[in-house]
Amino acid sequence: MKTAAIYARVSSDKQKEENTIASQTSALIAFAREQNCDVPAEWVIEDDGYSGASLLRPGLERLRDLAAEGRIQAVLVYAPDRLSRRYAHQILLIEEFARAGVEVLFIRSRRAATPEDELLLQFQGMIAEYERAQILERSRRGKRHRALQGQVSVLSGAPFWLSLQAQDRSLCRLL
């Protein structure tokens, strides 16, 4: 029986509200049983509300420490994009774990046993990175559109100059 740690992550408030991290964790606990892995309760690690674009996440740091200390033999993650939204970071982490003798197992991705499996993992990483960039672009575009319509929220984080331009346009329409 392998000693393993579970890693789950969500980044958005909507995901937090919908409790998707609990669904990941539940699926990973069942996956651990299927893979014949022993996961101590304290090694069910969740990064709730942390972006996958950054490597600076408390849960991920703890996971990396467990691997470096030789305390685990496997890391169980729901999907590659839960480990990281950046392909380069995914590869960096997978290689770091491999150097420590730790196998990374994903529920939503096969083990990279063949060149084809490795290619599929790479594509999934690149698609996750692309998807994140698309989400950021849509969000930016929506905020800009609302600002130009005069619907600027103080909490939206819109650039100050853009807020002023939108307010000027709103005032001109009133006159």
**Which of 103, 118, 92 lies closest to 4, judged by CA?**
103
User: Would you call 109 a catalytic residue per the annotation?
Assistant: no
DSSP codes of every residue in the chain = -EEEEEEEEE-SHHHHHTTHHHHHHHHHHHHHHHTTEE--GGGEEEEET--TT-S--HHHHHHHHHHHTT--SEEEES-HHHH-SSHHHHHHHHHHHHHTT-EEEETTB----SHHHHHHHHHHHHHHHHHHHHHHHHHHHHHHHHHHTT---TTS---HHHHHHHHHHHHHHH-
d(CA 33, CA 48): 24
Active-site position among 11, 51, 109, 170: 11
Could you list the active site residues? 11
